[in-house]
């Protein structure tokens, strides 16, 4: 794979991550405005899910590379 092609893919991936970040932030803002969930509750939920995933023996990425 050429260097430029790899850089292009990395840039595209970074842009996709940025878009997803904006989408999630906007969703949480709407949930807060409607009084459904606070940012703190959302962050706690994320932390819990990450800890749960980390405690499993194999992650999706590990399975994917097998």
Confidence of residue 55 (pLDDT cuts 50, 70, 90): confident
pLDDT in tens, 2-41: 667 889 999 999 999 999 999 999 999 999 999 999 999 9
Tokens 């932390």 correspond to 47
pLDDT value of residue 53: 81
Q: Are 7 and 1 in contact (CB under 8 A)?
A: no
- pLDDT at res. 28: 94
Q: Which residue has the higher pLDDT, 55 or 15?
A: 15
DSSP helix/strand/coil, 7: helix
CA–CA gap between residue 41 and residue 3 (Å, rounded): 42
Residues 6+ apart with CB under 8 A from 37: 28, 31
Angle at CA 8, nearest 5°, toward 64 and 19? 75
Q: Which domain holds residue 19?
A: 3-65
Our count of domains for the chain comes to 1
Whether 51 has a pLDDT exceeding 80, the answer reads yes
């Amino acid at each position: 794979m050429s260097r430029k092609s790899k850089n292009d893919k990395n840039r595209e991936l970074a842009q996709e991550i940025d878009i997803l970040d904006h989408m999630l932030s906007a969703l949480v803002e709407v949930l807060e405005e409607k009084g459904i969930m606070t940012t703190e509750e959302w962050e706690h939920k994320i932390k819990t899910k990450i800890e749960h995933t980390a405690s499993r023996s194999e992650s999706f990425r590990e399975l994917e590379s097998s």
